[in-house]
Amino acid sequence: MHASDEFKQLKKTYMGFVVPMTVGFMVWYLLYVLCSNYAPGLMNTKVFGNVNIALLWGLLQFITTFGIAFWYARFSAKNMDPIADALNEAYEKEANA
């Protein structure tokens, strides 16, 4: 099964989504950490009231995490689940034969 074209396509599709998203999110997160440590003037900038850039950026980290999870679920359902279902059916036929 691992050598089949369908499995290779499934793995390529998965990696094509996961790797860029992981790298992008890690850069986004590490930039937040670096700015928190080395750019306190920027992070302490008040946006309104007692809300500063650091607080907004921290909240955006949560929003980004949930957004990526939602995006991945939709991407997976559309692009990967049909391939995985076909592979599963082929496997079950083979296993039960």
Q: What is the pLDDT of residues 41-62, one digit of tens each?
A: 999 999 999 999 999 999 999 9
What is the total residue count of the chain?
A: 97
Count of domains observed in the chain: 1
Q: Give the model's pLDDT for residue 4.
A: 86
Q: Count Cβ atoms below 10 Å from residue 54 Cβ, excluding itself.
A: 18
Query: In this structure, are residues 87 and 6 in contact, taking their beta carbons and an 8 Å threshold?
Result: yes
What does pTM read for this prediction?
Answer: 0.81
Whether 97 shows a pLDDT value over 90: the answer reads no
Q: Is 97 helix (H, G, I), strand (E, B) or coil?
A: coil
Joined tokens for residue 39: 């750019």
